[in-house]
C-alpha cells in the first residue's frame, strides 16, 4: 500500500550495496485502516523528495545521496561540555578510561600514531607505549590477546580497524569471549574486554569498508553489541561498555566520525546499556533504527508529518543485544504500527528479530498481522 511504498522509497543516503531494509507491521487494524484510506485518497505524487520545510522545489532530482546528522539538545547534567565530533568523543572516553583505570590498555592495528580514524590521537604520548600500542596485523590475535588480558582482570580495549575485518576474530568472540564465564562456571571471565570497530556505510567504502555485521553477533548470547547515533551517545555508551562486566562490541558509525558534531561533556559519564531511547514521541507509527539510520529516520518522520500528517514515534535501539524489548513493545502497543530500518541486508537482519519478538509479545493483539 501507498504508505509503505513511500516510506521504503526513501532510500536516503545509502549506497546501492547497502540499501535500506524496512519492515512495516500493521497491527490492530481498525484505527489504522481509516487513516490509511484517507492517505490513499490524498492522491500522493511521485518526486516527493524533501520536507517542505527544506524550502525547495518539490519535484527536484537528486544527484547524490545524503543524510543530515541531527544533534540532540545539549545535556546539562554532566558538567562542562566541549564541541566534539564522534571520533573526538571516542578519544575523550578512552582518555577518561585510561586516566581512571591503571590496568586499562588500548591496542590494535595503527592505534599508536592515533588510528586511521584518529580515535586514539595523543593517548600513547599521554599514557605510555605499554598502554597504547600497535599489534601485528591479525584480528584473531587482537581479540584473543584482548581476551587473555581481560582474564587476568585488567581492562582491554581492542580496536578492529573496520567491522568488515572482524570475521577472522569471530571464533574468538563467539566461541571464547561470549562463553568464557558460562563454560567455566563463573570461575573465569573476560568481562573487562571491549572491542571497538568502525561500522557502516561511508559512501565510497564498497563491500569491505561499509559493513554492518551486528546481526551475526546478535545470535550470540554472552556478548553485548552497542551502536551510538551521535558523539554524546558514543562517549557515554563506550564508557558503559568499558565498565560493563561482560565482553562488549562497540560499533562506531564511521560516516559520523567527522560529520557528527555536538557539545559533549569533558568528564566521564555513562549511558545505560540495553536501554532504547524514545527520541521523539508520536502516535501513529513506531520507527526503530540505530546508528546512522536514526538520522535518516528522523528526516523521514519530518516528511511524514508534513506531507502525510502522520505522527511518528522514533526509537534509537542503541544496544542490539541484549535489546530493550519493553520500550519497543510499549511504543507499538501505543501506535499500533512498527517500521524498522537498518543498513544491513534485509534477510536475517536484526529487524527480523525485532519484528518477530514484537509480534509474539502477549500484550499485542495477534488477530491482525501483516508484514511488508
Partner 1 sequence: MDRQGQIINPSEDPHLPQEKVLKFYRSMTLLNTMDRILYESQRQGRISFYMTNYGEEGTHVGSAAALDSTDLVFGQYREAGVLMYRDYPLELFMAQCYGNMSDPGKGRQMPVHYGCKERHFVTISSPLATQIPQAVGAAYAAKRANANRIVICYFGEGAASEGDAHAGFNFAATLECPIIFFCRNNGYAISTPTYEQYRGDGIAARGPGYGIMSIRVDGNDVFAVYNATKEARRRAVAENQPFLIEAMTYRIGHHSTSDDSSAYRSVDEVNYWDKQDHPISRLRHYLVSHGWWDEDQEKTWRKQSRKMVMEAFAQAERKLKPNPNLLFSDVYQEMPAQLRKQQESLAQHLQTYGEHYPLDHFDK
The catalytic residues are 139, 209
Among 97, 172, 230, 292, binds partner 1 (CB under 8 A): 172
The least distance separating partner 1 from the CB of residue 346, rounded to whole angstroms, comes to 23
Q: Under the criterion CB under 8 A, does residue 222 sit at the interface with partner 1?
A: yes
Among 41, 185, 204, 367, binds partner 1 (CB under 8 A): 185
What is the total count of residues that contact partner 1 (CB under 8 A)? 48
Nearer to partner 1, 79 or 153 (CB): 153
Q: Under the criterion CB under 8 A, does residue 196 sit at the interface with partner 1?
A: no
Q: Under the criterion CB under 8 A, does residue 203 sit at the interface with partner 1?
A: no
Among 25, 27, 132, 150, binds partner 1 (CB under 8 A): 150
Binding mask 305-324 toward partner 1 (x if CB under 8 A, else -) reads: -----------------x--
- Is residue 332 within 8 A of residue 364, CB to CB? The reply is yes
The least distance separating partner 1 from the CB of residue 94, rounded to whole angstroms, comes to 17
The least distance separating partner 1 from the CB of residue 280, rounded to whole angstroms, comes to 25
Binding mask 18-37 toward partner 1 (x if CB under 8 A, else -) reads: --------------------
Among 2, 33, 57, 326, binds partner 1 (CB under 8 A): 326
Which cell is 97 given?
578510561
Among 100, 182, 334, 366, binds partner 1 (CB under 8 A): 182
The least distance separating partner 1 from the CB of residue 82, rounded to whole angstroms, comes to 31
Please identify, among the stretches 133-141, 199-207, 334-342, 343-351, the one whose residues bind partner 1 according to the rule CB under 8 A: 133-141
Nearer to partner 1, 94 or 273 (CB): 273
Nearer to partner 1, 65 or 364 (CB): 364
Q: Under the criterion CB under 8 A, does residue 129 sit at the interface with partner 1?
A: no
Q: Under the criterion CB under 8 A, does residue 355 sit at the interface with partner 1?
A: no
Q: Under the criterion CB under 8 A, does residue 145 sit at the interface with partner 1?
A: yes
Cα 7 to Cα 22, 32, 339, 357, distances in angstroms: 8, 16, 9, 22
Q: Under the criterion CB under 8 A, does residue 186 sit at the interface with partner 1?
A: yes
Question: HEC profile for the chain?
Answer: CHHHHHHHHCCCCCCHHHCCEEEEEEECHHHHHHHHHHHHHCCCCCCCCCCHHHCCCCCCCCCCCCCCCCCCCCCCCCCCEEEEEHHHHHHHHHHHHHHHCCCCEEEECCCCCCCCCCCCCCHHHHHCCCCEEECCCCHHHHHHHHHHHHHCCCCEEEECCCHHHCHHHHHHHHHHHHHHHHHCCCCCCCCCEEEEEEECCCCCCHHHCCCCCHHHHHCCCCCEEECCCCHHHHHHHHHHHHHCCCCEEEEEECCHHHHCEEEEECCCCCCCCCCCEEEECCCCEEEEECCCHHHHHHHHHHHHHHHHCCCEEEEECCEEECCCHHHHHHHHHHHCEEEEEECCCCCCCHHHHHHHHHHHCCCCCCCCEEEC
Half-sphere exposure of 56 (CA within 13 A, CB side): 10
- Residues within the interface to partner 1 (CB under 8 A): 103, 105, 130, 133, 135-136, 138, 140-141, 143-154, 156, 168, 171-172, 175-176, 179-189, 191, 221-222, 224, 245-246, 274, 322, 325-326
Amino acid at each position: 500500500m501507498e504508505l509503505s511504498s513511500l516510506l521504503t522509497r526513501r532510500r536516503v543516503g545509502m549506497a546501492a550495496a547497502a540499501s535500506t531494509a524496512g519492515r512495516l507491521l500493521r497491527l490492530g487494524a481498525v484505527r489504522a485502516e481509516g487513516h490509511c484510506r484517507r492517505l490513499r485518497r490524498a492522491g500522493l505524487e511521485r518526486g516527493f523528495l524533501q520536507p517542505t520545510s527544506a524550502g525547495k522545489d518539490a519535484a527536484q532530482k537528486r544527484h547524490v545521496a545524503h543524510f543530515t546528522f541531527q544533534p540532540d539538545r545539549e545535556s546539562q547534567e554532566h558538567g562542562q561540555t566541549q564541541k566534539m565530533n564522534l571520533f573526538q568523543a571516542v578519544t575523550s572516553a578512552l582518555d577518561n578510561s585510561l586516566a581512571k583505570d591503571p590496568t586499562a590498555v588500548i591496542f590494535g592495528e595503527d592505534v599508536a600514531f592515533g588510528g586511521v580514524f584518529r580515535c586514539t590521537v595523543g593517548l600513547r604520548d599521554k599514557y605510555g607505549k605499554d598502554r597504547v600500542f600497535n599489534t601485528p596485523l591479525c584480528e584473531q590475535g587482537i581479540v584473543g590477546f584482548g581476551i587473555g588480558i581481560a582474564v587476568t582482570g585488567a581492562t582491554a580495549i581492542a580496536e578492529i580497524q573496520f567491522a568488515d575485518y572482524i570475521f577472522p576474530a569471530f571464533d574468538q568472540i563467539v566461541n571464547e569471549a561470549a562463553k568464557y564465564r558460562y563454560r567455566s562456571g563463573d570461575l573465569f571471565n573476560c568481562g573487562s574486554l571491549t572491542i571497538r570497530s568502525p561500522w557502516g556505510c561511508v559512501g565510497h567504502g564498497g563491500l569491505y569498508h561499509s559493513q554492518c555485521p551486528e546481526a551475526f553477533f546478535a545470535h550470540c548470547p554472552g556478548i553485548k553489541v552497542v551502536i551510538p547515533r551521535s558523539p554524546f551517545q558514543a562517549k557515554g555508551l563506550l564508557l558503559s561498555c568499558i565498565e560493563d562486566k561482560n565482553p562488549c562490541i562497540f560499533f562506531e558509525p564511521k560516516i559520523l566520525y567527522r560529520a557528527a558534531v555536538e557539545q559533549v561533556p569533558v568528564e566521564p559519564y555513562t549511558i545505560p546499556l540495553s536501554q532504547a531511547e524514545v527520541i521523539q514521541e508520536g502516535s501513529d507509527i513506531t520507527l526503530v533504527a540505530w546508528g546512522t539510520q536514526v538520522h535518516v529516520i528522523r528526516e523521514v518522520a519530518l516528511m511524514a508529518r508534513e506531507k502525510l500528517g502522520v505522527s511518528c514515534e522514533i526509537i534509537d535501539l542503541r544496544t542490539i543485544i541484549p535489546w530493550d524489548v519493553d520500550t519497543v513493545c510499549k511504543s507499538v502497543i501505543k501506535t499500533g504500527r512498527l517500521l524498522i530500518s537498518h543498513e544491513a541486508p534485509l534477510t536475517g537482519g536484526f529487524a527480523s528479530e525485532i519484528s518477530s519478538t514484537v509480534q509474539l509479545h502477549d500484550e499485542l493483539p495477534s488477530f491482525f498481522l501483516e508484514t511488508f
